[in-house]
Structure 1
Amino acid sequence: MNQTTLNFAVGTFGTIITYAFGGWSELLSFLVIAMLIDIVSGVAASMKEGKGISSAVGFKGSVKKVFMFVAILLAHRMDVLMNSGFIMTGAIYFYLANELVSIIENYGRLGLPLPPQVKDMITALKRNNDDRQARS
């Protein structure tokens, strides 16, 4: 790849990121890191449980993560439209909390020690989520 092509690709990628998210922030970086840790810990937990790796489960998880970024993009565009700065931040924190709970669940599946309060919180969150899905 020559220098001009590389410069064009990087410039295009930067333009897309800036349009989609108003630039890159530490909060977005933290979300991406949490997503990567969730993926790795989920794969490790599945391997430990003897479930192996399923391409269907992996595809479903990947699609969910892509749509998280689509929702964040929409939240940023609403911020631009309404001249605010909190909708995208709120969306990122929402998805970040979701990723962190998933990481903690995966750590529990791996047999790593978790404080009882954390286990109780995860059980309550799962129960609430199951109740909501049952009503849908």
Structure 2
Amino acid sequence: MPYHILMIHQIRHMVDDPLIIAFVWCVMIDVATGYIRSVFVRKTNSTRGLFGLIKHTIVLVSIISIYPYLISLGYAWLAQTMVWGFILNYLTSITENWGEMGLWLPPQIKQILVKLQSDYDATDYNAITGARKNKGGK
């Protein structure tokens, strides 16, 4: 079978692929909970929101283009692992948004999030340049 036909077949198959469907739903739910969280916390920022939408779009386009390519090359395990990684990342973000809205979370999930957040301070990181701010001469 010619390679371009195989690629077209893989792209068509993505429409019914449960992993891709779950991934797209996670992205949409994360965007929705992010906007709802910004209203709950009363910290809306159009620049930050636009930057977030651009990041989500880049991730979606990357997955939609890389996933069928890897599968057509015979690396389905790598394609699926990559998508599962993004799904887990989005589920974490959805859970964080949910918790920041003050809605109920199981105590075990709260403990995990508190532990993860104690190791990370978003205020010392510039997402555009990737540089860490220098705090207190460290």
TM-score by length of 1: 0.69
5+ residue gaps, structure 2? 1-7, 133-138
Report the CA distance between 1:78 and its aligned residue.
3.2
Matched with 1:59 is 50
Matched with 1:44 is 36
Matched with 1:119 is 110
- 2-side partners of 1:89 and 1:105: how far apart? 24
- 2-side partners of 1:79 and 1:45: how far apart? 36
- 2-side partners of 1:78 and 1:30: how far apart? 19
- 1-side partners of 2:113 and 2:131: how far apart? 20
User: Residues 3-18 of structure 1: matches in 2 within 5 Å?
Assistant: 18=11
Instruction: Give yes or no for the alignment of 1:26 onto 2:25.
Output: no
5+ residue gaps, structure 1? 1-14
Instruction: Report which of the two has the higher share of helix.
Output: 1
Deviant stretches of 4+, over 4 Å: 127-130, 133-136
Cα gap change, 1:124 to 1:27, in 2 (>3 Å): same
Letter paired with 1:104: T
User: What is the Cα-based RMSD across aligned positions, in Å?
Assistant: 2.8
- 1-side partners of 2:131 and 2:41: how far apart? 30
- 2-side partners of 1:33 and 1:121: how far apart? 24
Indicate the percent of aligned positions where both proteins have the same amino acid.
26
Report the CA distance between 1:74 and its aligned residue.
2.6
TM-score by length of 2: 0.68
Count the aligned residue pairs.
Answer: 116
